[in-house]
Chains A and B, each alone.
Chain A
Amino acid sequence: MSSRSVQLSSSPLLTSKTPVWRSKLIVATIAIAFAGLAVRAAYVQVIDNAFFKHQGEVRFARTLALPASRGRILDRNGLLLASSVPAPSIWANPEDLERDPAKLARLAQLLEMTPADLERKLANEDKTFVWLKRQLDEPVVKDILALDIKGVYSIKEYKRLYPEGEAAAHIVGFTNVEDVGQEGMELVFQKQLSGRQGSRRVIKDRLGRVVEDVGEAVQPVDGEDLQLSIDNKVQFFAYQKLRDAVLDNKAKAGSVVVLDAQSGEVLALANYPSYSPAKRINLSGEQLRNRALTDTFEPGSTMKPFVISLALEKGIVKPETRIDTSGGHLTIAGSTISDSHAHGTLTVNEVIQKSSNIGTVKIAMQMQPRDMWEIYTEVGFGQKPQVPFPGVVSGRLRPYKTWRPIEQATMSYGYGLSTSLFQLARAYTLFSHDGEVIPASLMKVNQPGAGVRVISAENAIAVRKMLNMVAGPGGTAPKAQTVGYSVGGKTGTAHKQEGKGYSGKKYRGFFVGLAPIERPRIIVAVMIDEPSNGRYFGGDVAAPVFSETVQQTLRLMGIQPDMSVKPQTSVQAVEESF
C-alpha cells in the first residue's frame, strides 16, 4: 500500500463547510463556565468568606492562655505566709513512649518511684496521657527533660508553699493540686487570690514560634495579695507554747487566740493538733479543725466577769460589797450549787479572784434574766463572729424567756450556754477597751472599727482590777504572772458534756486574760481540752500558756514593762585600769 501525502492547505476536510453554530456553542459554553467560576470566586471571597478564612486561621493562628498568678498571703508585717512557685508536672504518652530500660530506670529514680511503679503507670499502651508525677521541683524537671525520652513531657504548673508550716496552717489553709483553695483563708478568698486568666491571639510560623499578635490581647489579672492581721512571730510562739502545754498535760487538743486589745486584730490563732500544709497525706478531721473558731464549749467561770460588770453597772453591788458564800453550798429550786472550797464571806473582788460560784450566783439572782441575756448578747455570745472563715459558729445562748431560775444561776458561771474560744477572746475587749466591745478582724485594719459601749469605763477598770487579783496572791491563777508585765484574767474549768449529762473525769481548762492591766495591749485566750496528766484546773493547765504567750508577745511588740523588775545586769561600767 502506498501512502499518499496531502498538503494541509489542500486538505479536503478544510473545504467542507463547518456550521457556524458549532463554534458559537463552544465559545458560549466556555464563557458560561468562566462566568460560573467568577461568580463562585466572588461568592467564596466576598459573600461567604468565613469558611476558608477560618480554615486558614486554623493553620497559623493560635490562642494562648496568659496565666494569672495566685496572690500571696502575707502577715501583718508583709512576711510571706503563702506563695506560689512554679512546679512543673511530668506526664507521658504511653502510646509512643520510647521504652529504653536504662533511661526509664533513671527516670524512676528522678521521680522517686520504684521502676515497678513506673512500669505500672506506663503499662496501658492504649492511653495517650498519664500523669507521672505532679508538681516537682524545677531542677528535677530539668534533669528529666535532659534525659530526652520520647513521649515524656512536662507541663507548667504552680505549687503553693507555706513557709510557716503547721504553726499557721489552720488560719492560712491550703490549696489543692489544681490551685483551688480548700481550707482557711485560701478558701474564703479564693476569688480574690486566684485572679483572672488572660488570652492572646497570635500567628505562629512553621517552627511554632510566635511571630505576630492578632488583635488585642486580654491581659491577665493577677490575684490580689491578702494581708492578714496575724503576726508570724506571735503566731509561732503561741503555737509552740500551746503545743508544749497540750503534750505536757497529755491533753486531747488545745487552742490559743491572741487579740490586739485596742484594734481587735487577731495577732495569732493556733490550734493543736495541727498539720503541715506540705504533707497532707492521712489528715484527720482532728488535725484539720480550727477549734478556736468552729468548736463551741461551755465557757465555765470565764463568764463571771460579765455578770459582775453588769451588777456594777446596775448598781446591785460595789467592788467592796460583801457576799456571804459560807458553807460552800447553795440550793436553788432543788439543785445544789457548790464551790470547790468553802470561802466564808467574800467581797465582790474576791468572788472573781477566788472564782466563787455561790458568790456569782447570789449576785446574778438579783438581776433580771433579760439584762443578763442582753449583756451576753452585746459582747457577742450566741452571735456569729463577723470574720470571714469557713465554718465559723455562733455558739448557743437561749432566749431569756425560756430560762428557769436554776438555768439563770448556772448561766452566770458559764454552764447552759456555749461559745467558741474566738468569741470568748473578743468578748473580753469589753474590759480591755474600757467598756466598749470592738469587732475582731482577721485582716490587717488601719482604722479600728467603732466600739459599742456596753458598760462605763469606770466599771471596766474596776473589773480589770479584779482580773488582776486573779493572777495575784490568793487568786486562782498565780501561774498567769509574767516578769515585768502586770496581767489580769479569769480561769475557767468546765466539765465536758457527754451525751445528756456531764462527764465526771473529762474537763476543759481555760484562761482568758489581758495585759498590761493599766492600758491593755493584748488579750490572750487559751483552752486546753481534756488534760489528763493529773492537773486539770484552768489555772494550772491554761494559765502558763497565757503567761508565756503574753511575755513573748509584749516583748515582740516592744512594750516596756509596767512593773518594776529587779535588774539582773550591772549597768555601771568598771573603770579600766592602765
Chain B
Amino acid sequence: MTRLSLLLLAAVVASAMVLVHSQYEMRRLFVEHEKTLKDAARLDMDLDRLTVERRAQATPLRVEQIARQQLQMRNPSPGITQYVAAPGARP
C-alpha cells in the first residue's frame, strides 16, 4: 500500500513538472511567434513603402523628363512607326 502511494506521489510530482515545463515552453514559443508576426507585418509595410517609392520613381513626369533631357528621346509619330497586326486581331 505504501509503495503504491509513493509511486503515485512520484507520478504526480513528475506530471506537475511536465506541466510547468510545457506551460513555459508554450509561452516561450508564443512570444517567438508574436515576434515573427510582428516582423512579417513590418516587412509587409516595408514592401508597401518601397512599392510606393518605386512608383514615385516611375511617374510619367519623371520618365518624361529623363527621356527628354538625359536620353534625348522624343515621342514617336505615326510617321516613324511600323504597325504590325497581331495574329487574329481585328483590323
What residues of chain B lie closer than 8 Å to A571, measured between beta carbons?
82
List of A residues within 8 angstroms of B59 by Cβ: 163-165, 236
Q: Is the CB of A561 within 8 A of B78?
A: yes
Q: Is the CB of B61 within 8 A of A236?
A: yes
Docked pose: A213 CA to B27 CA in angstroms = 10
Using CB atoms, name the residue of chain A closest to B83. Answer: A560
- Give the distance to chain A from B38, nearest Cβ to Cβ, in Å: 10
Residues in B neighbouring A236, C-beta threshold 8 A: 59-61
Among B60, B75, B77, B78, max chain A CB count under 10 A is at B78
Query: Is A484's beta carbon under 8 Å from chain B?
Result: yes
Return the chain A residue nearest B78 by Cβ.
A484
Segment of B5-13, B14-22, B44-52, B66-74 in the binding face: B44-52
Produce 1/0 per residue, A60-85, CB < 8 A to B.
00000000010000000001100111
| Neighbouring A residues of B88 by C-beta, 8 Å | none
A236 to B49, CA, bound (A): 22
- Per the bound structure, the CA–CA distance linking A555 and B83 in Å amounts to 11
Q: At the interface, yes or no: B56 with Cβ under 8 Å from chain A? A: yes
A560 to B78, CA, bound (A): 8
Q: In the assembled complex, which residues on chain A have CB atoms less than 8 Å from the CB atom of B82?
A: 569, 571
Are the CB atoms of A86 and B49 closer together than 8 Å?
yes
| Number of chain B interface residues as a range | 20 to 34
Which B residues touch A84, using CB under 8 A? 48
CA distance A232 to B55 in the complex (A): 11
Q: Which residues of A contact B75 (CB under 8 A)?
A: 552, 555
Q: Which residues of B contact A86 (CB under 8 A)?
A: 45, 49
Q: How far is the CA of A133 from the CA of B88 in the complex (A)?
A: 59
Contact of A83 with B52 in the complex, beta carbons under 8 Å:
yes
- Collect the chain A residues with CB atoms within 8 Å of residue B27's CB: 205, 211-212
Residues of A within 8 A of B64 (CB): 240
Complex: how many Å from CA A61 to CA B29? 19
**CB proximity to A under 8 Å, residues B14-36:** 26-27, 30-31, 34
B-side interface mostly:
helix
Indicate whether A13 reaches chain B with its CB closer than 8 angstroms: no
Q: How far is the CB of B20 from chain A (nearest CB, A)?
A: 14
Measured in the bound complex, the distance between the Cα atoms of B83 and A236 in whole Å is 25
**Bound CA–CA A161/B64 (angstroms):** 21
Interfacial chain A residues near B48, Cβ < 8 Å: 69, 83-85
- Chain B contacts for A163, CB-based, 8 A: 52, 55-56, 59
Give B66 Cβ to nearest chain A Cβ, in Å.
Answer: 14
Nearest opposing residue in chain B for A566, CB measure: B79
- Which residues on the A side are within 8 Å of B52 (C-beta)? 80, 83, 85, 161, 163
Q: CA of A210 to CA of B31 in the docked complex: distance in angstroms?
A: 6
Is B61 within 8 A of A165, CB to CB? yes
Contact flags (1/0) for A461-501 with B, using CB distance below 8 Å? 00000000000000000000001110000000000000000
B89 → A minimal CB distance (Å): 10
Q: Which of B34, B55, B77 interacts with A80 by CB under 8 Å?
A: B55
A237 at the interface (CB under 8 A from B): yes
Asked if B80 is at the interface of the complex by the 8 Å CB criterion, the answer is yes
A568: Cβ under 8 A from any B Cβ: yes
Q: Which of A163, A164, A167, A210 has the most CB of B within 10 A?
A: A163
Q: Is A233 an interface residue (CB 8 A)?
A: yes
A211: chain B residues at CB < 8 Å are 27, 30-31
Q: A residues within 8 Å of B by Cβ?
A: 69, 79-80, 83-86, 138, 161, 163-165, 167, 205, 209-213, 232-233, 236-237, 240, 483-485, 552, 555, 560-561, 565-569, 571
Report B's interface with A, CB cutoff 8 A: 26-27, 30-31, 34, 45, 48-49, 51-52, 55-56, 59-61, 64, 75-80, 82-83, 85
18 contacts between A and B (CB under 8 A): A69-B48, A79-B55, A83-B51, A85-B52, A86-B49, A161-B56, A163-B55, A164-B59, A165-B59, A210-B31, A484-B79, A555-B75, A560-B83, A560-B85, A565-B78, A567-B79, A567-B80, A568-B77
Given contacts A212-B30, A237-B60, 4 further A-B contacts (CB under 8 A): A236-B60, A485-B78, A561-B78, A569-B80
